[in-house]
Amino acid sequence: MLTLGYYAIALQSEAVGASGAGLGGSVIEWVARSSPLSKTVLLILLLFSVASWAIALRKMWEYRRLERQTSSFLDVFRRSTKFSEVQSVCRSLIHSPLVGVFQAGYAELNAQLRQSGESAGATPSEGRPTLRSFEALDRALLRASAVEANKLEHRVHLLATTASITPFIGLFGTVMGIVDAFVGIAESGSTSLAVVAPGIGEALIATAAGLAAAIPAVYFYNHLTNKVKLYLSTMEDFSLEFLNISERNFT
């Protein structure tokens, strides 16, 4: 019995040595000798990953600039006594979504007051202008908010696409790689670890690549989506504030 145990250990050692020879090389070498289909799958996953990282970093930079300009715009808006004063600083803060909402409301307000021969920049002490349609002003603000929301969400959906599709692309590459590995086993007629392991290892690289592309995309999509919700709430609050000022001064 002891002799059989020694014999089994010897066979296992020989198998490990053979597998070490067969499994030698880095992941890059495995990719280099993989099939054209596997290389195509990995290239697709690489493109998805690069695109998602580029979009995420770009949007993070845009949102950081947006936050700074939004804070500056709100400070100017709440310190000013006339809408015309706010309009004068809009050109320097064009990246804030509140600027687009304000300009749409200001244009609608001016258009209505111009029909009565008044100016939206006038103060109440110069004669109280009259707003012809409060509902039209509300619709203008809502329309501008929708436009700004589309700008905020631009290309963010591509992160969701990357997060949802890349694991399946990686799984497809793995399945096809395993099929190729079994074909190789059938051709060689051997089921030793040295024959099976390289093909399976090459196949699993596709799954790892798919997950590597999907995980950051999921994180950034959730993070950016949450930021978009906060900006939408900020625009809604600003629209209500604009309407309140207009109602007090022009109705």
Do 61 and 101 form a contact (C-beta atoms < 8 A)? no
Q: How far is CA 93 from CA 73, 81, 163, 239, in A?
A: 7, 19, 33, 17
- Cα–Cα distance measured from residue 111 to residue 194, given in angstroms and rounded to the nearest whole number: 80
pLDDT of residue 18: 39
pLDDT score for 7: 36
Beta-carbon contacts of 146 under 8 Å, excluding residues fewer than 6 positions away, are: none
pLDDT of 112: 86
The residue among 70, 111, 113, 127 whose CA lies nearest residue 93 is: 70
- Given a contact cutoff of 8 angstroms between Cβ atoms, the answer to whether 156 and 224 are in contact is yes
d(CA 102, CA 158): 29
The pTM of this model reads: 0.77
Instruction: pLDDT tens for the chain, 251 residues: list them.
Output: 433 333 333 333 333 343 344 444 566 777 777 778 888 999 999 999 999 999 999 999 999 999 999 999 999 999 988 898 999 999 999 999 999 999 999 999 988 887 765 444 544 445 566 777 888 999 999 999 999 999 999 999 999 999 999 999 999 989 888 887 777 777 776 666 666 666 777 788 899 999 999 999 999 999 999 999 999 999 999 999 999 998 888 77
